Amino acid sequence: MSDNSSNVLLALLTGAAIGAGIGILYAPDEGIKTRKKIKDKALETKHDLTERISHAKDELTKVADERKEVFEQKLEDTISTMSYKADEIIVQLERKLEEIRKKNAQLQK
């Protein structure tokens, strides 16, 4: 879940909780009933938020694990390619060194 969508979700849930609280306060009920409704709604909202946060955490962990695997595979591929290229460079340098040795030997005769 992106940072922006989690902010929107939090804003919506906060707005819903505030709206429900105001609606209950203006309802024509006794104080005890109103307080019980507020408490019940707060517990319900807390439970809902806890579930959503847990779900978001699970999704973020899943995405992080997937991206970690992709990164590790790309890193392994890159290292393998670099190793192959390094071997090619070493072979070419050895050839050049041999050519230089031969030229040097000819010059010293």
Identity of the residue numbered 81: T
Q: DSSP states of 8-74 as a string? A: HHHHHHHHHHHHHHHHHHHSS--HHHHHHHHHHHHHHHHHHHHHHHHHHHHHHHHHHHHHHHHHHHH
The CA distance from 102 to 109, in Å, is: 11
pLDDT of residue 96: 92
Q: What is the model's pTM?
A: 0.46
- For residue 2, name the pLDDT band (cuts at 50, 70, 90): low
Which has the closest alpha carbon to 38: 11, 13, 20?
Answer: 20
**pLDDT, position 30:** 72
Q: CA–CA separation, 28 vs 63, rounded Å?
A: 48
Question: In this predicted model, what pLDDT tens digit does every residue of 28-84 receive, in sequence order?
Answer: 667 777 778 778 888 888 888 888 888 889 999 999 999 999 999 999 998 888 888
Between 67 and 5, whose confidence is greater? 67
Residues 91-100, mean pLDDT to the nearest whole number: 92
Q: Band of the pLDDT at 106, cuts 50, 70, 90?
A: confident
